[in-house]
Amino acid sequence: MMKPFKKPSQDEIAKISQVAGTFSAAVAKLEPAQVAPVRGYQTGSTYDVPISEIKVNPYNARRLMSQDGIDELSISIAKQQDTPAIAYLDDAGVVCLVDGHRRLEACRLAGKSSLRVEIQVRPVSTRDLYLASRRANVERKDQSPLDDALAWRVLLEDGVYKSQIEIARDLGIDETVFSRIFNLGVIPKTIVRILADRPNLLNLRMLDAIRKYWEAAGDEQTEILILEIDNHDLSSREVDARRQALSKVKSKRSRAVSVPMKYAHGSSLLKRFEDKGKIQLEISDIKDKDLIEKISERLNQITKELLS
């Protein structure tokens, strides 16, 4: 049989209120990461954000990712992520990375479902988003000239900056130096991937030498050269010397003056290598065997007359 409800006394009500107040105060002291609901992130706090909810920065200043570096970081981050990534909240409350893309990739590789992220004030413009990303990389000494060159081209293509001069001024880089760095952006992706795994080659002097060698020799020879630089510790001066030697060989190659001719009963191609004192004559499309014999006799006669 159900017992009749007994109204609590004033003393009992006071004790219950005291316990509830103590519990509420304890909850209020918890870190935001422990109590924040999904999409309830607050600026100034740090959270473990599900990787699936993180939006990457399209203007990330760091464009190169060494696979070896990601592998090493994934091993470390699987145990503990010491440094949080930096992000902001967009209009929909989505977490958008400013800095920490390597950590994000390392978390994925390590099989982790979340990334520890510090939510900071949202950049006021796309330019500020890029500059904040680059500033973080420069402070860690992670930024290379090739990273800069690739990022700058994206910024210009997307209209974030209207000119190279605008970027140079924002970064405080001399325009001559900026131009040298910017020119690295022509290096093809296949070679960029090889360079990404060799951070010891990512200085401006060496990259400039490799870029000039590539313009003279092409992709395949440049890929071979990079492996040789890495294996034998070649200097940028030695790379320049290789390019100069290659240019000399190319300049010595003879260029033929070609004179194609079409006739009723065949065609010919006369090539003259004047610097070598050489003439090459090719006659084709002759169907009459007797005509072939006549041409051979006549050519032999002319040659004897002129060279005897």
Query: What's the rounded Cα separation, in Å, for the pair 122 and 93?
Result: 11
- The C-alpha torsion from 9 through 12 and 17 to 22, rounded to 10°, is 170
H/E element, 137: helix 126-140
Percent of the chain residues topping a pLDDT of 70: 81
Confidence of residue 79 (pLDDT cuts 50, 70, 90): confident
Cβ–Cβ under 8 Å, residues 187 and 210: yes
pLDDT value at 33 more than 50: no
pLDDT value at 21 more than 50: no
Using a 10 angstrom Cβ sphere, with 0-12 exposed, 13-18 middle and 19 or more buried, the burial of residue 49 is: buried
Average of pLDDT values for 202-228? 96
pLDDT tens-digit readout, 80-109:
888 999 999 998 899 999 999 999 999 999
pLDDT value at 261 more than 90: no
Average of pLDDT values for 247-253? 63
Task: Give per-residue burial for 55-70: e unless 16+ CB within 10 Å, then b.
Answer: eebebbbbbbbbeebb
pLDDT tens-digit readout, 265-292:
777 777 676 666 778 777 877 777 778 8
When the pLDDT of each residue in the chain is averaged and rounded to a whole number, the result is 84
pLDDT tens-digit readout, 178-194:
999 999 999 999 999 99
Which pLDDT belongs to residue 8?
54
Token couple for 173 = 């880089």
Which pLDDT belongs to residue 281?
79
H/E element, 179: helix 175-182
pLDDT tens-digit readout, 114-165:
999 999 999 999 999 999 999 999 998 889 999 999 999 999 999 999 999 9
Alpha-carbon distances, residue 241 vs 180, 208, 214, 262 (angstroms):
19, 13, 13, 46
pLDDT tens-digit readout, 41-69:
999 999 999 999 999 999 999 999 888 88
Lowest mean pLDDT among 103-107, 151-155, 246-250, 258-262: 258-262
Which pLDDT belongs to residue 160?
97
Q: What is the pTM of this model?
A: 0.67
What is the layout of strands, in order, in the sheet containing 54-55? Answer: 46-50, 114-119, 85-89, 95-99, 54-55
